[in-house]
Structure 1
Amino acid sequence: MADLSATLEQGPVRLEPLAEHHLEPLRMACAEDQDIWEIYPVSMLDENFDKAIQTFHDTSNWVRFAVINADTGKLVGMSNYINPDPMTKVTEIGGTYIAPSVRGSGFNGVMKQLMIDHAFANGFTRIEFRVDTRNKRSMAAVLKLGAQHEGTLRKNRVTWTGYVRDTAVFGLLKEEWTR
């Protein structure tokens, strides 16, 4: 997992391993979209932010990134490798949030490309994405990357609001990656 934790940069996107100095700017970035958190498994708003960060710190099998707009130097979100397993060579990319200011600009595509390239360069052969089926924008973005919808886990996760969500599972194999 240590090999996955690196600074990655291309064009306007810079991913830095999440550190203490990123937390307050991340809190501010998360607050830029009050409505999106209804479809996330956890809330990163207000008093929920500190609880979520503590939960992340207690989870050792995630590689966390602060997402920076390299053009402005502003922190605009976060993303993660979740449960990277060097034995099976599978990792998930998820827990991603980007601020409205960079959505729809191609920023997310570059960010995911950096993460996918980096995972495959580090020996992983499969990347998974798990998305709440209510999050149509994220599902469309994952499909644009070339990932395949492999199925939907019905009512498999309780979110912070108490909603029991369905989770769409997507997979991307190294040999399918054409970027």
Structure 2
Amino acid sequence: METQQQKNAGLEKIKDMVDDIRIAMMTTQDEQGNLVSRPMACMQMDADGTLWFFTKKSSPKVAQVEQHDDKVNLSFADAGDSDFVSISGSAQELDDRAKIDELWSDMAKPWFPNGKDDPELTLLKVHTELAEYWDSNDSRLVRLFEMARAAVTGDTYKEGENVKVTN
């Protein structure tokens, strides 16, 4: 995955975390109003905080994005390091062959066996509107010690850094 230095300095930490995690759960709303999520590999986070994904034109998520005001949520999680990112934004299906060429890698081939010229291949572009992250900054052992300390003392567990960023 390619990440670019962010024009919005507040998104720099988000970029670093997304780059490390790479797989997001993308949540959309289905025809009955249910929230539905699926794993998606992020291909790029560009300098404007826009995240790029490959998908199929016939995928239900493309229709769901169009039917529900383009709103999506992306959740990235690395439970082992206690790093979590939530991104709310607007999504758009975009058939941009130049951008597909730029982002194409062999990692996408299992989903698109006909390659980057597959007529079903399209892009989902998600513009970040609000992002929030949780970063423990500590090892698992330190986190366990802090949980035990909080349980014994009756104090609140100190989870680490939690920041909201608007774009």
TM, length-normalised to structure 1: 0.28
Which protein has the larger Cα radius of gyration, Structure 1 or Structure 2? 2
- The structure, 1 or 2, with the larger RCO (C-alpha pairs under 8 Å, 6+ apart) is 2
Q: TM-score, normalised by structure 2?
A: 0.30
